[in-house]
């Protein structure tokens, strides 16, 4: 049996290979991997996901949230046949159901309506995360007749907290005309607007009011995350849990 | 020449350990389920040269048998490790082991520490971050080259 080529000095290698004097399957001497490389765990390919993040500077409570719902009147349209009405975003707490939310809604004329609503979670002046819900409605152009329609989107942040969390929200509203659905379809008369909600705050932690679990003065932190489950073989995302904020217990410290 | 002890046959001397072993084996619960429940995944803390393209302060990646905490190399690394491991413990309590072929990616979008950990815990995470930063670079699969250490988490 030919001896392993890896033990042969390189200058003689080609000669030996030609003469069949050694097994060529491992003919190319390589540097052995470092110990770190040998022992290092191997992570699989991570799934490609997008979940909206926000330029927090735009909404930082430290900068001062506007006290009232503001409606940005940025109508870029110069045609009278599309309109946005009653644009607004509201935030709220649904603690019985375990989430805080932002809902954006508006009425519109046009056969296409779209809304993108983002709920942000904050603890004091510390931003924790955002999640965006989007919706788009289409009415066939020839069947629209210029009727007023409505559209809404609801973004949630799930939480097991009952104190300390602040829910903020904002929405982008739009309406336009389009002959048919599809990226290449001609479109005209786009109206766009923007709204921001008043923040909704849970009670402060450590108050005498009802607190969660074993008392919030024992809670040591809050963490917000998104949980994405994916198939390691196909790379397909099989489940995404929207933004959740949870307290970390004092048993960790 | 060895002689058996009086009143204690050779066969009995050899059988007693076997009988004891058989008793222990049958008395214990099913080994596959018991051991599987007790064997935690390997936990690794790593600081990659290039953090994955995910907008998050840190990232947990769980696969069958391996949990990885990916940190950004910044001033908040110790706090991020503290909170990431707390979340990992919570996720493990909910789901100790992932199904074969399933992975979980957990971008941590934000956190706030409302009460600082004790000196012991602080020393532990500071030391861990120091060790990670001092570790040699190695290939960690899809995240590329990173510095890493084993970091058991309960």
Q: Are residues A104 and A35 in the same domain?
A: no
The pLDDT assigned to B23 comes to: 60
Which domain range does residue A27 map to?
3-39
| Contact criterion met (CB below 8 Å) for B140 and B148 | yes
Residue A43 C-alpha, separation from nearest chain B C-alpha, in angstroms? 5
For residue range B117-139, list pLDDT tens digits in order. 888 889 999 999 999 999 999 99
Tell me if A49 is assigned to some domain.
no
Please indicate if any CB of chain B lies within 8 Å of the CB of A250.
yes
Could you tell me if B106 and B91 are in contact, meaning their C-beta atoms sit under 8 angstroms apart?
A: yes
Q: Which residue's entry shows tokens 């001896």?
A: A3
Domain for residue A48, yes or no?
A: no
Which A residues, 16 through 35, put their C-beta within 8 Å of a C-beta on chain B? 34
The mean per-residue pLDDT over the stretch A226-239 comes to 88
A210 and A104, same domain (yes or no):
yes
Does any domain span residue A236? yes
Q: What is the largest CA-CA distance in chain A?
A: 89
Do residues A221 and A248 touch, judged by C-beta distance below 8 A? Answer: yes
Instruction: List CB contacts (< 8 A) between B108 and chain A.
Output: 223-225
pLDDT band at A66 (very low <50, low <70, confident <90, very high): very low
Among partner residues B87, B104, B135, which is closest to A248 by beta-carbon distance? B87
Please name the residue ranges forming H helices in chain A.
13-18, 35-39, 141-144
How many angstroms away from the CA of B23 is the closest CA of chain A? Answer: 38
- Which H/E stretch holds residue B31? helix B31-38
For the segment B67-80, the average pLDDT, to the nearest whole number, is 94
Same domain? For A61 and A132 the reply is: yes
Same domain? A228 vs A106: yes
Same domain, residue pair A82 and A137 = yes
Paired strand residues for B58: B71, B108
Which residues contact residue A233 at a Cβ distance below 8 angstroms, ignoring those fewer than 6 apart?
Answer: B101
Distance from B69 to chain A by nearest Cα, in Å?
A: 11
Q: What single DSSP character describes residue A251?
A: G
Q: How far apart are CA A141 and CA A144, in angstroms?
A: 5
Asked whether the beta carbons of A196 and A90 are under 8 A apart, the reply is: no
Q: Are residues A10 and A83 in the same domain?
A: no
Please tell me the distance in Å from B138's CA to the nearest CA on chain A: 5
Overall average pLDDT of the A89-100 stretch:
85
Q: Are residues A100 and A201 in the same domain?
A: yes
CA distance A44 to B66: 11
**Interatomic CA distance for residues A8 and B128, integer angstroms:** 44
Mutate to test the interface with B, among A60, A223, A231, A240 (most CBs of B within 10 A): A223
- Radius of gyration of chain A measured on its C-alpha atoms: 29
- If asked whether residues A35 and A64 sit together in one domain, one would say no
Model confidence pLDDT, tens digit, residues B99-112: 889 999 999 999 99
- Residue A136 has, within 13 A of its CA and on its CB side, a CA count of 8
Residues A65 and A105 in one domain: yes
User: Does any domain span residue A253?
Assistant: no
pLDDT computed for residue A171 by the predictor: 94
Assess whether pLDDT exceeds 70 at residue A18: no
Counted residue by residue, chain B has a size of 154
Q: For residue A89, give the nearest of A110, A114, A63, A115 by alpha carbon.
A: A115
Does A44 fall in a domain?
A: no
In angstroms, what separates the C-alpha of A251 from chain B's closest C-alpha?
9
**Please, which residues 156-175 of chain A have a Cβ atom closer than 8 Å to chain B?**
164
HEC string for A221-240: EEEEEEEEEEECCCCCEEEE
List A residues 67-126 in contact with B (Cβ-Cβ < 8 A). 121, 123-124, 126
Q: Which helix (H) or strand (E) holds A108?
A: strand A99-109
- Residue A12 DSSP class: G
pLDDT at position B24: 55
CA distance B77 to B74: 6
For residue A150, the model assigns a pLDDT of 92
Q: Which residues contact B63 (CB under 8 A, 6 or more apart)?
A: A43, A44, A232, B41, B98, B102, B103, B104
A212-237 mean pLDDT: 73
Considering only CB atoms, A246 lies closest to which of B60, B90, B104, namely B90
Number of A/B CB contacts below 8 angstroms equals 145
**A163 and A95 in a common domain:** yes
**Residue A39, number of CB atoms within 10 A of its CB:** 11
Nearest residue to A49 (alpha-carbon basis) of B103, B88, B36, B43: B103
Residue A199 structure tokens: 């923040």
Considering only the beta carbons, identify the residue of B108, B135, B139 that sits closest to A223.
B108
- Environment class of residue B99 by beta-carbon count within 10 Å: exposed (0-12), middle (13-18) or buried (19+)? exposed
How many domains would you assign to chain A? 2
- Same domain for A98 and A185, yes or no, is yes
- Range in A43-52, A112-121, A138-147, A213-222 with the lowest mean pLDDT: A213-222
């Amino acid at each position: 049996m030919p001896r392993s080529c890896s033990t042969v000095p390189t200058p003689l290698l080609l000669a030996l290979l030609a003469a069949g004097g050694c097994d060529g399957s491992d003919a190319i001497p390589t540097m052995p991997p470092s110990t770190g490389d040998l022992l290092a765990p191997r992570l699989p390919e991570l799934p490609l996901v997008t979940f909206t993040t926000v330029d927090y500077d735009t909404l930082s409570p430290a900068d001062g949230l506007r006290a009232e719902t503001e409606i940005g009147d940025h109508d870029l349209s110069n045609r009278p046949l599309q309109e946005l009405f009653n644009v607004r975003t509201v935030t709220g707490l649904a603690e019985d159901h375990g989430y805080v939310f932002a809902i954006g809604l508006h009425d519109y004329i046009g056969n296409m309506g779209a809304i993108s609503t983002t709920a942000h979670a904050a603890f004091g002046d510390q931003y924790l995360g955002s999640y965006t819900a989007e919706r788009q409605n289409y009415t066939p152009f020839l069947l629209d007749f210029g009727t007023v329609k409505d559209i809404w989107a609801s973004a949630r942040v799930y939480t097991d907290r009952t104190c300390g969390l602040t829910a903020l929200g904002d929405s982008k509203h739009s309406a336009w005309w389009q002959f048919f659905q599809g990226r290449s379809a001609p479109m005209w008369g786009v109206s766009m607007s923007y709204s921001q909600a008043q923040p909704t705050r849970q009670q402060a932690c450590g108050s005498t009011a009802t607190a969660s679990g074993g008392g919030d003065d024992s809670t040591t932190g809050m963490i917000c995350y998104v949980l994405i489950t994916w198939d390691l073989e196909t790379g397909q995302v099989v489940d995404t849990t929207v933004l959740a904020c949870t307290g970390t217990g004092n048993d960790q410290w | 020449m060895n002689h058996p002890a009086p009143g204690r046959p050779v066969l009995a001397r050899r059988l007693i350990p076997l009988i004891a072993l058989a008793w222990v084996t049958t008395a214990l619960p099913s080994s596959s389920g018991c051991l599987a429940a007790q064997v935690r995944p390997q936990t690794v803390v790593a600081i990659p040269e290039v953090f994955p393209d995910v907008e998050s302060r840190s990232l947990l990646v769980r696969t069958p048998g391996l949990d990885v905490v990916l940190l950004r190399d910044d001033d908040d690394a110790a706090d991020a490790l503290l909170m990431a491991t707390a979340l990992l413990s919570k996720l493990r309590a909910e789901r100790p082991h992932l199904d074969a072929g399933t992975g979980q990616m957990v971008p941590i979008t934000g956190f706030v520490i409302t009460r600082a950990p004790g000196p012991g815990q602080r020393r532990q995470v500071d030391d861990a971050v120091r060790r990670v930063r001092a570790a040699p670079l190695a290939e960690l699969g899809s995240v590329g080259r990173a510095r890493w250490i084993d970091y058991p988490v309960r």
